[in-house]
Structure 1
Amino acid sequence: MIPNNKPLRLNSKFILLLAMAYMTVSISADVVAFKFAYFFGLIESGATILFPLTYIIGDVTCEVYGWKIAMKLVWYGLICEALFAILITSVIHLSSSGIGQYQNEYTDILGHIWLFVFGGIISNAIAGLLNVYFISKWKIFAKGRVFWIRSILSTCISELILILLTVLIAFTPFIHIKATMHIFFDAYFLEIIYALLFVYPAQLLVNFLKRSEGIDAYDYGVSYNPFKFI
């Protein structure tokens, strides 16, 4: 028990910042999920442009702090996204007072956010956990070396699952199947580009955190049961 006159101190200086960045990107991606735009010639959902950053944060978190922390980051992130969708959906379906403009537009834009979040929860519960699992297991196999290779490979595998499930659940009810397939291939191509572009900054961040925190977790003998996250 910590005495009342002594402040609670976390052993990590940066894990809260990483977690907040993770949630900021996740919720931002949820909001712009149904905004489709040309992004360097590709047709992309707004979520596709933003969400890959969560996988980079997940890779870095697992590499430095280990499987258990990264697993909790994924699970707690999904819980927060579900709560966000419930709150947003509840508020926008309240009776409009007639004061102010764009009341109907709130429903048009955010009315289906629950569907995207639902698809994201299912897909990320599989792909997000699989991503950090690969980082953890391959770190042991590679004896901590070649993080950049492990990050690229884990992202390419897990993002394929994530995009496939999310597109099927969230977009096929509203978008023609041909356009949906176009979105899928463009999204996956962009994820690979992201993985290649951001792996070097991620490596620099990993090096910085390991030095600053004095932490370099190896998950020897840990349980990889994804439901032991409390």
Structure 2
Amino acid sequence: MKRTLFKYFVELTGNPVSSSLLKSFTTSRLSQPLVRPFSTVYHINEEEMEYPLHHYKSLQAFFTRQLQEGRRQIDDSPNTMISPVDGVLSGMGQIDASQTFLIKDHQYRLDEIMGTDKQASPYKDGFYFIFYLSPSHYHHFHYPMTGELISRYALGGVSYPVNNLGLRLGQSPFSTNHRLISEVQTPYGKMAIVKVGALNVNSIQILNASKECVKGNAFGHFSFGSTVILFVENHPDFTPTVHLNTEVKVGQPVGEWIQQ
């Protein structure tokens, strides 16, 4: 029962009015008594948090907590791509020539997610990775590779949940949710980092507008439920290094460009 209640708080609902009310509650001090039970229900590792539980004055403040410095080891090999988030790798594969691929029993076109065929074209025949962040996860996102930010834009007006229920029942949730896309030029080609927000509220927070992207550096966080999709430009030497449906952490290699 508690777990179901907390999921409503952090993933919101399909109704904009109730979502607004839930947001107001979770960001207020009225929600502070729920911080400890939330931590207990989701087995949060309190030893790695930046501050002790009593520091967080609202449920959302706790949900968006940072980690102690050094708690995530960043693989600094120049030819590896790291996970941008703590989460579950719920989807992965090569994008076929017709720009469609299967995610949670739904077919999605690359151009729908990226906005236009022109924006999607660099990633044709490339790779995709989908990371689902549950309420228990650390909700900041980091750069998976070093490079230069070449574009950042927002898409989507209608939102559906990004949890499994939303993926089953929503109408193409990845292409209609509010999402923020960051494209990075890396030494191995382009990479798109697609942050999919929660329902009915702007839940994606960006830390700065710098064009310098440093592998492992945090550049924003989610205020409510979240999913991150990576699109990697096709490269003959690129290969994934993780298995589908595995738990990953920021800094862990998930792909590499094999050096000849």
TM-score class, shorter: under 0.3
Determine which structure has the larger helix proportion and give its number: 1
TM-score, with normalisation over the residues of structure 1?
0.25
TM normalised by structure 2 equals 0.23
* Structure holding more strand per residue: 2
The higher radius of gyration belongs to: 1
